[in-house]
Structure 1
Amino acid sequence: ELVEIAGRYGMRLVGPNSLGIIDAVASLNASFATGMPAKGSIAFMSQSGAVCTAVLDMAQSEQVGFSRFASLGNKADLDEIAFMEAWSDDPHSRV
């Protein structure tokens, strides 16, 4: 039902059961993660919020940066393909 309502207004949804998204290039943290990761050239996504949290923690301790970061959750609307298509032309993401 949420996907249908969002679609009526031209919106897309991440999740449910998602940690959220981070756009380090724009300094946007729309997630439950604390803090902002360093800026880098890695675009990362995972279905699992737990994996995302572990990767963010490791990246901070190892000083690894990200351009984009997404936790997909249950993928009621946006999935891996949607993010790969969106990030494919991203000049800030190399990996």
Structure 2
Amino acid sequence: MREADRELPKGKSYIRCEISDYEADQIQALLRSLLKSDKTDFTTKFALICLIKNKVENKGLGKVAQETNQSKAQAAIMVSCARFYIAGHDKRLKNQ
């Protein structure tokens, strides 16, 4: 995803994803509830932070790894784990 007013950088191919304001609010509420929940353990919260940095802030895995003091492979694993956690946590995100 990208910020609304920013142009896409040249030289990379991107898949555009447009969501409504309602959908964006629902995703934001889901992420906030998971990050603030006492039932979510630290490792899961850390994985969610890595996912947010990678997908929402549009930072590469190398940059995420640098900011979170991990290797690039570890950052990729954390992002993947967070995706599967969210898909399993919110039943609306399951594939039909």
The TM-score range, normalised by the shorter chain, is under 0.3
Q: TM-score, normalised by structure 2?
A: 0.28
Higher strand share: 1
Higher helix share: 2
Structure 1 or 2, whichever has the larger Rg, is 2
If the length of structure 1 is used for normalisation, what is the TM-score? 0.28
